Homo-oligomer: A and B are copies of this chain.
Amino acid sequence: MPQPFDRVFNFSAGPGVLPVQVLEEIRDEVLNYRGAGMGVMEMSHRSAAFEQILFEAKADLRSLMGISDEYEILFLQGGASSQFTMVPMSFLGSGTAQYIVTGAWGQKAIEAGRFEGEVEVLWDGKADEYRSIPNEIGENELASYVHITTNETIQGVRFGHDISVTAPLICDMSSDILSRPVDVSKYDLIYAGAQKNMGPAGATVVIIKKELLDGVSRELPPMMDYRVHVKNDSMYNTPPCWAIYVCGKVYRRLLSLGGLMAVHENNIAKSGVVYSAIDESNGFYRGHAVTEARSLMNVTFTLAEDGLTKSFVSEADALGMKDLKGHRSVGGCRASIYNAFPNDGCIALADFMREFAHKNG
């Protein structure tokens, strides 16, 4: 059963489940943050208390991901969708950017890029319905940058390793940031909306190599200009204070759990429980992704007999397993099991899947 007893197993693809311990801390501080006599939502972003929250969140993220001083960390607004435009505005220039399209988010990124200038597809998984991830990346010395999406929430595929390219590497890590250790030094810019593994929707983390900014010469509207946000330490305008505060608590918790290697091992175990139920079902369930590309965050599968999908989802729902319906563009089912999703929930789902297959197989 979930803990506390009145919580469900929330398989939402995002915004997604947050750690109960973090929510309990937040609850206790809503009206009064550590004796300040006010909550974090009510606090001037220029106050010492909030500056401390921002400073600690950045320091803890730096420590968690092993981000060197060569990188700046920003907390912006507008989600990955705003980054889809800010990235080419700053870094496309008069050159060509190359996009690796492994699913729906990669498609959105390249569409927004196309609006700003020359972009080309370096690899596209469309032919096999975005079930896989490229093994080989072509030549790209001349590209303004290469863009990848490390995890695709809709198709449930992911890069399980840090790729190397010769052009600057820019990465949408929205749905698997903090799910495993990454070698940040291989990336020139990482961005991620908060609402999967970090906190509530409304904050976007950008990790940006200082060197990359030196190459920007174009004048930009201030809110679209990374240099402005770097210069003002994410305080050019009022930042999304509350979302940053929650992210900070999540970072602190992940550190207390032993950091990203421990988190990763747990994610392998959790997703393994669900993938096993698929693989041992004799074809009753079919994973969407090829085995090597399987996401640890979004387990996507269909039922061989598609007519059973609806009752699968509604029977699970009645048992407190919520939001298992797949995205309309892929169909079937999707179990999103981000960092904060409890291990018990994966076991409960796998048990239910076996039972359901037995009953309907």
Contact = CB atoms under 8 A, between A and B. Distances in A.
Nearest to A203: B202
Chain B CB count within 10 A is highest, among A42, A44, A84, for: A42
A42 B10 contact: yes
Interface residues of A, number: 67
Contact of A12 (B35, B42, B115): B42
Contacts of A20: 31
Contact of A79 (B41, B82, B193, B237): B237
Nearest to A44: B12
Question: Copy number in this complex?
Answer: 2
A280 interface: no
A82 B237 CA distance: 9
Contacts of A13: 44
Contacts of A38: 7-8, 10, 12, 17, 322
Interface string A186-205: 00000001010001111100
A349 interface: no
A241 B15 contact: yes
A24 B236 CA distance: 31
A238 B201 contact: yes
Given A31-B23, A238-B195, A202 B77 contact: yes
Interface of A: 2, 4, 6-8, 10, 12-18, 20, 23-24, 26-27, 30-32, 35-39, 41-45, 47, 77-82, 84-85, 112, 115-116, 193, 195, 199-203, 219, 221-224, 236-243, 246, 320, 322-323
23 contacts: A2-B37, A4-B31, A7-B37, A8-B36, A15-B42, A15-B44, A18-B39, A23-B41, A27-B31, A41-B201, A77-B78, A77-B79, A77-B82, A77-B202, A78-B82, A78-B237, A81-B237, A82-B237, A112-B221, A115-B222, A200-B241, A201-B240, A202-B242
Given A17-B38, A82-B237, 15 more contacts: A4-B31, A6-B31, A8-B37, A13-B44, A15-B238, A15-B241, A23-B39, A24-B31, A27-B31, A77-B79, A77-B240, A84-B223, A200-B240, A201-B242, A202-B241
